[in-house]
A and B are shown apart, each in its own frame.
Chain A
Amino acid sequence: MKGAVEVRGVNKSFPRHQGGGELQVLNDVSFSLDAGTFICLVGPSGCGKSTLLRIIDGLIPPDSGEVLIGGEKVREPSLDRGFVFQQFNLLPWRTVLGNVEFGLENLGVKKQERRRRAHEVIKLVDLEGFETYYPSQLSGGMQQRVGLARAIAVEPTILLMDEPFGSVDDQTRMLLQDELLKIWEQAQKTVIFVTHDIEEALYLGDKIVVMRARPSRITRILEVPFGRPRTDEIRGTPEMGHLKQEIWEELKSGATVEG
């Protein structure tokens, strides 16, 4: 299917900064997911989850192995995938509107249509009235709404999100999580969401892929039992507590001092 993702035996090493040699970041990583699934990659920092996400997008090539999306091998980034970055990465010289239109320009969408679609997604992420603002005039949470709008404006089948809510405050994060769910429930895109926040992963995902550092690999894939639509109440349920504990144990057993 169009939005199905298959990761097959991916390996990736980077040269070490000091002492020479190579640091293996991903070691024979494989998993697959169906179209329309919301999957969360959880793991300690340095476990290679952001690297894996970039390999899936085609931003960096794997040393070996391959990624198939809709049965086709990924070679380079495509506007069939929308990327949301941890540090927002908005173009500081463009307004909110200009940033949201960025991907559409590259797609060759005509100006009028571009405007229309940009306004539509700006409305979707609740940023109406801020079209002419520059990123530096917005709070972190609002900037990430722009980042999200930019990614969904190109109508991708897959949304790749790299710790998107990692650099905003707690309250904003919870609001953004709910907004993301609202948008996802309307569009049912495939989402790969990287986070180190276990509760966030459980609250958002259908499935959780637990990763471990050095050697980096997937230790477990877990189905999230909560139904949808999800509301804030599940945050306080005993089941949430149990699952958090379970995943934490899993991560802790693989954690090293180095990690």
Chain B
Amino acid sequence: MRSETTVSSQGDLVSEGGLPELPRRGREDGLQGWRRLLRNKWVLRAIFYGTILAVWQATAVIKGEFFLPTIPQTIRGFGEIFTEGYAGTLLGTLRQLFAGFLIALVIAIPVGALMGRFRFVEDVLAPYVNTLFVTPKQALLPILIVAVGIGFWYRTWVVILFAVFFPIINTAAGVRYVDTELRETARAFGTSRWRMFTRIYLPASAPFVVAGIRLGFGMAMKGMVIAELWIFSGAGKLLETFSRSPLRLDLYYPLVLLIIFFAVFVNELLKWAERKLRPAAQATGQV
């Protein structure tokens, strides 16, 4: 704590160029401590989420379990999801999610890179990419069911369809906007065409590519659930079952939370990778 600085009664500026300290400062110390505590983001979050949990529990008790399960019921529900054989179903969902997502990336990154690098590729593909990008993919699901049935490839294709566009568009933008200056520099230093890709385009556009992957993953999750709701299988089937008669909201809510937690976890992982790849972040050593 700072000692009390004496201030002349006239309130003259006293110390070396500093603002004159007001005598009432000392009296406010208790209040200051509270303020500092309130400025801590963890304290704020604890208060915020604590309030939400309290409201949840109160609502559940008042309205009854057909509206909202209580917190203990929900926690028990988490356990039940893993013990009652639902885990296998969810694992199957996850497997198809990743299969579709990886295929989407394998398609998207080279396509995006070529679109960003070569004008003619962009000219040919951009209309399709842009059209499909803005098309509500749900509208295409019946066509897909007719085309590939409702097996493994149906769900995988839905995920691809949902996930593929962000990485394409982002990668293309990242490659397209590689500085003219950097390209010129690389040419001046005798960089071959192939090395141009690996030494300049790739590192320069990496943060864009990862951002595209992250956005694509969000879409993949969405695609997976929507695909399953349509054909009544996997996690989508469980979601629907739990929310129908006989109502199992004590399982429904944990499942929804599980899906959210999983999506947030992967999203944070990719955000971390994105920051790691940004040159400025490397420079300050902070990630």
Q: Do A and B come from one complex?
A: yes
Interface centre among B189, B199, B206, B283 (most CB of A within 10 A): B189
Interface size grouping (class) on chain A: 20 to 34
A-B contacts, 14 listed (Cβ < 8 Å): A83-B185, A83-B188, A83-B189, A85-B185, A91-B185, A91-B200, A91-B203, A103-B190, A105-B199, A106-B189, A134-B283, A135-B279, A137-B284, A154-B189
Contact with B along A114-153 (1 / 0, CB 8 A): 0000000000000000000111110000000000001000
Query: Which residues of B are found within 8 Å of A134, using beta-carbon distances?
Result: 279, 282-283
- From the candidates A78, A135, A136, name the one contacting B190 in the complex (CB within 8 A): A78
Tell me, rounded to whole Å, the shortest Cβ–Cβ distance linking A50 to chain B: 11
**Would you list the 3 A-B pairs with minimal beta carbon distance, nearest first?**
A92-B279, A134-B283, A83-B188
Q: Verify A93–B188 contact, CB threshold 8 A.
A: no
Q: Verify B182–A59 contact, CB threshold 8 A.
A: no
- Whole-angstrom CA separation of A103 from B199 in the bound complex: 12
Query: Which residues of B are found within 8 Å of A59, using beta-carbon distances?
Result: 184, 187-188
Assuming A59-B184, A85-B181, is B282 touching A93 (CB within 8 A)?
yes
Assuming A103-B190, A106-B192, is B280 touching A136 (CB within 8 A)?
yes
Query: Which residues of B are found within 8 Å of A137, using beta-carbon distances?
Result: 283-284
Interchain pairs with CB closer than 8 A, number = 60
Contact with B along A58-79 (1 / 0, CB 8 A): 0100000000000000000111
- Whole-angstrom CA separation of A136 from B282 in the bound complex: 9
- A105-B199, A136-B283 known; 6 new pairs, CB 8 Å cut-off, are A77-B188, A85-B181, A91-B182, A92-B280, A93-B279, A93-B282
Tell me, rounded to whole Å, the shortest Cβ–Cβ distance linking B169 to chain A: 22
Query: Which residues of A are found within 8 Å of B192, using beta-carbon distances?
Result: 106
Within 8 A of B (CB), among A83-126: 83, 85, 87, 89, 91-93, 102-103, 105-107
- Whole-angstrom CA separation of A71 from B60 in the bound complex: 89
Query: Which residues of B are found within 8 Å of A105, using beta-carbon distances?
Result: 199
Is A57 positioned at the interface, with any CB of B under 8 Å from its CB? yes
Query: Which residues of B are found within 8 Å of A154, using beta-carbon distances?
Result: 189
Q: Verify A57–B189 contact, CB threshold 8 A.
A: no
Tell me, rounded to whole Å, the shortest Cβ–Cβ distance linking B210 to chain A: 13
Tell me, rounded to whole Å, the shortest Cβ–Cβ distance linking A242 to chain B: 37
Tell me, rounded to whole Å, the shortest Cβ–Cβ distance linking B87 to chain A: 42
Is B195 positioned at the interface, with any CB of A under 8 Å from its CB? yes
User: Which residue of chain B has the shortest Cβ distance to A153 in the bound complex?
Assistant: B189
- From the candidates A89, A107, A133, name the one contacting B185 in the complex (CB within 8 A): A89
Contact with A along B172-215 (1 / 0, CB 8 A): 00000001011011011111100100011001101000000000
Q: Verify B189–A79 contact, CB threshold 8 A.
A: yes
Query: Which residues of A are found within 8 Å of B184, using beta-carbon distances?
Result: 59, 85, 89
- From the candidates B181, B195, B204, name the one contacting A93 in the complex (CB within 8 A): B204
Tell me, rounded to whole Å, the shortest Cβ–Cβ distance linking A254 to chain B: 28
- Whole-angstrom CA separation of A102 from B195 in the bound complex: 11
A-to-B contact residues, CB < 8 Å: 57, 59, 77-79, 81, 83, 85, 87, 89, 91-93, 102-103, 105-107, 133-137, 150, 154
Tell me, rounded to whole Å, the shortest Cβ–Cβ distance linking A163 to chain B: 14
Assuming A59-B184, A89-B181, A91-B182, is B280 touching A102 (CB within 8 A)?
no
User: Which residue of chain A has the shortest Cβ distance to B200 in the bound complex?
Assistant: A91
User: Which residue of chain B has the shortest Cβ distance to A91 in the bound complex?
Assistant: B182
- From the candidates A92, A93, A135, A150, name the one contacting B189 in the complex (CB within 8 A): A150
Within 8 A of A (CB), among B239-281: 279-280
Q: Verify A106–B195 contact, CB threshold 8 A.
A: yes
User: Which residue of chain B has the shortest Cβ distance to A136 in the bound complex?
Assistant: B283
Tell me, rounded to whole Å, the shortest Cβ–Cβ distance linking A33 to chain B: 20
Q: Verify B279–A106 contact, CB threshold 8 A.
A: no
User: Which residue of chain B has the shortest Cβ distance to A79 in the bound complex?
Assistant: B190
Q: Verify A106–B191 contact, CB threshold 8 A.
A: yes
Interface centre among B182, B204, B279 (most CB of A within 10 A): B279
User: Which residue of chain B has the shortest Cβ distance to A92 in the bound complex?
Assistant: B279
Q: Verify B190–A106 contact, CB threshold 8 A.
A: yes
Query: Which residues of A are found within 8 Å of B187, using beta-carbon distances?
Result: 59, 77
- Whole-angstrom CA separation of A91 from B279 in the bound complex: 9
- Whole-angstrom CA separation of A11 from B145 in the bound complex: 63
- Whole-angstrom CA separation of A117 from B204 in the bound complex: 26
- Whole-angstrom CA separation of A87 from B204 in the bound complex: 17
- Whole-angstrom CA separation of A57 from B189 in the bound complex: 10
Q: Verify B188–A57 contact, CB threshold 8 A.
A: yes
Query: Which residues of A are found within 8 Å of B179, using beta-carbon distances?
Result: 89
- Whole-angstrom CA separation of A134 from B200 in the bound complex: 16
- Whole-angstrom CA separation of A59 from B182 in the bound complex: 13
Tell me, rounded to whole Å, the shortest Cβ–Cβ distance linking B194 to chain A: 11
Tell me, rounded to whole Å, the shortest Cβ–Cβ distance linking B2 to chain A: 34
Query: Which residues of A are found within 8 Å of B191, using beta-carbon distances?
Result: 106
Query: Which residues of B are found within 8 Å of A92, using beta-carbon distances?
Result: 279-280, 283
User: Which residue of chain B has the shortest Cβ distance to A102 in the bound complex?
Assistant: B189
Tell me, rounded to whole Å, the shortest Cβ–Cβ distance linking B274 to chain A: 14
